């Protein structure tokens, strides 16, 4: 990504790169912006205007500007605004659209119960009980469970905006869902580093399940789509890693995002990248809530190490040995 178009960020990276004690999480954020190839010039210039030309003194200031000046204005679009998030604007991000994804692909997404119930009339214990009741037996959902889950979904949908959703596929995580600690394993596999409770605490999550066809049929989104993620599609995330632009042999894998896997691995050969994509808004319904679980431990990955392994696998899968960017080249 040509950071000369975002002078405030380029200046920050040039200032911070000399610090030998630069934390791995901070370094990862800068590497993601320096490595990103999928943001076109028009979108990058829009981002540069949003960040402004005032020098950024530190990562906290960058984080705040990215959220309040870019995401809040151009990604967290309200349903009644008459606009679409930059992610789904063909003029700004059309080259990253995943247009030929099959309608029948089943998608999964983790949602925090604390977010789902923010301002809700439903208590967490009541929700957990009704999710267990709704999913205890295959077939029809009990009326009592459906009534409460519909109330949760209605109140939740009312608060949600058109911000892009990160998700994965059933084929990618089927084996993990069969494990007793599936919530911890999904968190790790999908690089959801923000779901990282302190020792002794837990993060309660909902597992959402729906299809590509349902997302395409969602009218509230105004535009429906699936995309390969870039650094501008979400918050500043050290567990994110850009996907290379197409340049290599036929058969190289480009049409999907790859999440940094936070699961313990002994070596590069043991490391397995996670699959991720982003999609447009979908109103949740009771049947989309298929499990309630607990993330019960912090992740223990050496972030710098797993990012090195991740890059090696990306270079191999995408036939892009040249895909990398050192901070001293910014």
SS (H, E, C) the chain: CCHHHCHHHHHHHHHHCCCCCCCHHHHHHHHHHHHCCCCCHHHHHHHHHHHCCCCCCCHHHHHHHHHHHHHHHHCCCCCCCCCCCHHHCHHHHHHHECCCCCCCCEEEEEEEHHHHCCCCCCCHHHHHHHHHHHHCCCCCCCHHHHHHHHHHHHHHHHHCCCCCEEEEEHHHHHHHHCCCCHHHHHHHHCCCCCCCCCCCCCEEEEEEEEEHHHHHCCCCCCCCCEECCCCCCCCCCCCCCCCCCCCCCCCCCCCCEEECCCCCCCCHHHCCCEEEEEECCCCCCHHHEEEEEEECCCCCCCHHHHHHHHHHHHHHHCCCCCCCCCHHHC
Residue 176 lies in a domain: yes
**From CA 316, how far away is CA 323, in angstroms rounded?**
10
pLDDT for 320 equals 86
The total number of structural domains in the chain stands at 1
pLDDT tens, per residue, the chain with 330 residues? 888 889 999 999 999 988 889 999 999 999 999 999 999 999 999 999 999 999 999 999 999 999 999 999 999 999 999 899 999 999 999 999 988 899 999 999 999 999 999 999 999 999 999 999 999 887 789 999 999 999 999 999 999 999 999 999 999 999 999 999 999 999 999 999 999 999 999 999 999 999 999 999 998 777 889 999 999 999 999 999 999 987 655 554 566 899 999 998 999 999 999 999 999 999 999 999 999 999 999 999 999 999 999 999 999 988 888 888 777 777
65 in a domain, yes or no? no
Residue 175 is assigned to a structural domain of this protein: yes
Residue numbers of the domain that contains 136: 96-329
- Residue 64, domain member (yes or no): no
Contact partners, residue 216, CB within 8 Å, separation at least 6:
103, 224
> What confidence score (pLDDT) does residue 327 get?
73
81 lies in some domain: no
Domain membership of residue 267 (yes or no) is: yes
In-domain check, residue 220 = yes
In a domain, residue 67? The reply is no
> Which pTM was predicted?
0.94
The per-residue pLDDT for 248 is 54
């Amino acid at each position: 990504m040509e950071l000369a178009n975002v002078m405030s960020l380029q200046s920050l990276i040039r200032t911070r790169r000399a610090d030998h004690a630069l934390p791995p999480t901070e370094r990862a954020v800068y590497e993601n912006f320096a490595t990103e190839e999928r943001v076109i010039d028009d979108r990058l210039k829009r981002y540069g205007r949003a960040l402004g030309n005032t020098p950024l003194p530190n990562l906290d200031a960058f984080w705040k500007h990215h959220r309040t000046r870019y995401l809040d204005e151009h990604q967290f679009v309200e349903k009644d605004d008459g606009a679409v998030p930059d992610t789904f604007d063909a003029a700004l991000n059309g080259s990253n659209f995943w247009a030929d994804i099959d309608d029948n692909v089943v998608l999964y997404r983790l949602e925090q119960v604390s977010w789902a119930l923010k301002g809700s009339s439903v208590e967490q214990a009541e929700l957990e009980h009704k999710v267990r009741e709704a999913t205890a037996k295959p077939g029809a959902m009990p009326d009592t469970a459906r009534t409460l889950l519909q109330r949760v979904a209605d109140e939740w949908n009312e608060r949600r905006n058109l911000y892009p959703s990160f998700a994965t596929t059933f084929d990618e995580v089927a084996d993990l869902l069969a494990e007793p600690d599936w919530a911890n394993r999904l968190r790790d596999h999908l690089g959801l580093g923000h779901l990282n409770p302190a020792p002794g605490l837990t993060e309660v999550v909902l597992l959402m399940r729906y299809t590509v066809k349902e997302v395409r049929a969602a009218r509230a989104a105004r535009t429906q789509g699936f995309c390969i993620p870039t650094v501008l599609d979400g918050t500043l995330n050290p567990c994110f890693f850009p996907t290379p632009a197409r340049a290599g042999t036929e058969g190289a894998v480009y049409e999907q995002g790859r999440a940094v896997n936070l699961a313990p691995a002994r070596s590069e050969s043991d490391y397995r990248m996670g699959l991720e994509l982003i999609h447009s808004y979908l109103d949740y319904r009771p049947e989309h809530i298929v499990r309630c679980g607990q993330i019960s431990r912090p992740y223990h990955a050496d972030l710098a190490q797993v990012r090195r392994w991740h890059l090696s696998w990306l270079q191999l899968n995408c036939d892009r040995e040249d895909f990398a960017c050192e901070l001293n080249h910014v």
